[in-house]
Amino acid sequence: MKIAEPGFHEKLSNIPARSWSKAHFSGRAKCDILLNNICEVFNRRLIGARDKPVITCLEFIRVYMTKRIVNVKKIQAKAHGPLTPHAQEVFNKIKEEASQLNVLMVDAVQYQVNSSRSQCVVNVKNKTCTCRKWDLTSMPCKHAVAAINDMARNDIRIGVPEELVDEVYWLSTWKKVYENVINPIPGPENWITSQCPTKLLPPKHHKQVGRPQKKRKKSVGEAEVEAHFDSERKMTWKGNTTKCSNSTAVYVRNAVYVMLLLVMQLMYQTH
Ligand SMILES: [Zn+2]
């Protein structure tokens, strides 16, 4: 990166590598997602309520969460486990890929796993693989699953590979998270009036720092039109400066000339 994009390398050097490089992630998050889409999704759900007063906004969130918990429980009831439906789908794909790999057993713990493109070292005891996917996601990668299958073939370990997937992906954990419900509440007409003496006042107005902006911000269309005029408000055309023939000044000047000619003609006729 230093050779190919020096500027980009310099910018990234100012940010700790653990914030942007998978090679430096600790694995504590048990997730290798780099996006904050969860916040984006929640924010999108709140579009109808976020400009409302605080009570209305909180009521919107409460109703939304109540509905969400019910919907999640319906999905959970249909799932078979042992992992959550999405985690099971991901892990099934990993298991399918693992069947294509060659495993070389070193001892009961260490395995060298080869594919046509790569070669990785799996340590089943430490739950690590040199591809780092097992470390980062806490879900065995295809190399690890291939090693686990090899262990089963050699009677070292009998059990499903899902047992080595971290409990955060288990259906039972997901059910535990959603076991509580948000209790229904009666309407505002039944609410007890607050005894809190504090009066809600509008926030204090703060004068903005710096000189206040006098000119308004121009829209995109206006800015494009402005680009056709020079500093003296003359229209430019292909590099040459030309005066607009329809301007008011030219019109007034021509009118004055006509009037003067008429006056001179009248004076000439009267003499
Ligand atoms: Zn791996």
List, for residues 18-67, the tens digit of each pLDDT value.
888 878 888 888 877 777 788 888 888 888 888 888 889 999 999 999 99
| Cα 83 to Cα 165: distance, rounded to the nearest angstrom | 8
CA of 163 relative to ligand 1 center, distance in Å: 17
**pLDDT at 229 > cutoff 90:** no
CA of 112 relative to ligand 1 center, distance in Å: 10
If pLDDT is split at 50, 70 and 90, which confidence band does 182 have? very high
Residue 235: which H helix or E strand, with range? strand 235-237
CA of 2 relative to ligand 1 center, distance in Å: 28
Closest alpha carbon to 100 in 159, 157, 154, 146: 146
Which letter does DSSP use for residue 204 in this model? P
% of the chain surpassing 70 pLDDT: 83
Instruction: Indicate the SS3 state at residue 252.
Output: helix
CA of 144 relative to ligand 1 center, distance in Å: 6
What pLDDT, on the 0 to 100 scale, is given for residue 240? 52
CA of 130 relative to ligand 1 center, distance in Å: 6
| pLDDT average, residue stretch 230-256 | 62
Higher-confidence residue of 136 and 225: namely 136
Q: What does the angle CA 75 – CA 80 – CA 176 come to, to the nearest 5 degrees?
A: 60
**pLDDT at 242 > cutoff 60:** no
Protein residues near ligand 1, an ion, with CB under 5 A? 120, 129, 131, 141, 143
| pLDDT average, residue stretch 195-213 | 77
**How do the domains of the chain map onto residue ranges?**
1-30, 95-162
Asked whether the whole model's pTM tops 0.95, one would answer no
What pLDDT, on the 0 to 100 scale, is given for residue 143? 95
| pLDDT average, residue stretch 9-24 | 86
Higher-confidence residue of 203 and 137: namely 137
Higher-confidence residue of 232 and 101: namely 101
Roughly how many angstroms between the first and final C-alpha of the chain, as a whole number? 93
What pLDDT, on the 0 to 100 scale, is given for residue 195? 85
CA of 48 relative to ligand 1 center, distance in Å: 44
| pLDDT average, residue stretch 151-178 | 90
